[in-house]
Amino acid sequence: MEYTRGEWKVRKANPKYLADNCTEIIIAGSGAKIAKMDDGWSNLEIKANAQLISVAPDLYEALKGLIDILGNTWNQEDYRDEFNKAFQAIAKAEGGK
């Protein structure tokens, strides 16, 4: 799956030009923007959403790695619901349903 590589970080957007609660997800180092959130949510929701979005690549890679390792060594019958949720989450992240 192709996505923007690099460390994703949360930063407060420049309030001079944007709403006071505007938050961006950027690539560390380059400052390239992944997402911007500024309307429709409270400051707490914006911060929580930004934190979750910023770790999405890490969560994706970690879950994919665990499935690769554990999926071949653990008895999936014992953890059917958990494995199904993991497989569904990976498929959704990769553009499936």
In 3D, which of 84, 55, 59 has the Cα closest to residue 71?
Answer: 84
Cβ contacts of 94 within 8 Å, gap of 6 or more: 1
Which two structure tokens, joined as six digits, stand for 30?
Answer: 């380059």
Choice among 76-80, 85-89, 92-96 with the minimum mean pLDDT: 76-80
pLDDT digits (tens, 9 = 90+) for 16-75: 554 566 788 888 888 888 888 877 777 788 888 888 899 999 999 999 998 888 876 766
Cβ contacts of 63 within 8 Å, gap of 6 or more: 86, 89, 90
pLDDT confidence of residue 58: 92
Expressed in percent and rounded to 5, the helix, strand and coil fractions of the chain are: 50, 15, 35
Determine contact, residues 29/11, Cβ cutoff 8 Å: no
Domain boundaries, the chain: 8-54, 58-93
DSSP 27: E
With a cut of 70, say whether residue 13 has pLDDT above it. yes
13 residue type, one letter: A
